[in-house]
Amino acid sequence: MKALKLYHETTIFNWYFEPDREYYPATRQLFQEISEGKFEAYASDYVIEELARAEETKRQMMVDLLGKSRIGVLKKSEEADKLAEQYAMNDMISEKHRYDR
């Protein structure tokens, strides 16, 4: 059976390193299952750019996690930018979260 495809935005990378978060155990398990090939996971160039703005130590840990977990990176696209624009204009996402695409 083909693996379910998952898209990760920035929050999931943060949760992996925050043991006080409610979703910490589930997040750790999810990344383990991705590494085992149970899921096909992706992030995007938008996520990479957001991770790059994190504090140095945490940024490196999140980037390392991205690589060791075999998470594919989707390229930016004009289509994604236009869709995010429409979502924000129609209050489907806040301007603050517009970058989460």
pLDDT digits (tens, 9 = 90+) for 51-91: 999 999 999 999 999 989 989 999 998 988 888 788 888 88
SS3 5: strand
32 lies in which domain range?
Answer: 4-97
Q: Which of 29, 40, 30, 53 is nearest to 6 (CA)?
A: 40
- Specify the pLDDT at position 97: 59
pTM for the whole structure? 0.78
Question: What are the CB-based long-range contacts (under 8 Å, 24+) for 85-91?
Answer: none
> Could you give the number of structural domains in the chain?
1
Q: Summarize pLDDT for 1-47 with one digit per residue, the tens.
A: 788 999 998 999 999 999 999 999 999 999 999 999 999 999 999 89
Residue 71 maps to which CATH number?
Answer: 3.40.50.1010
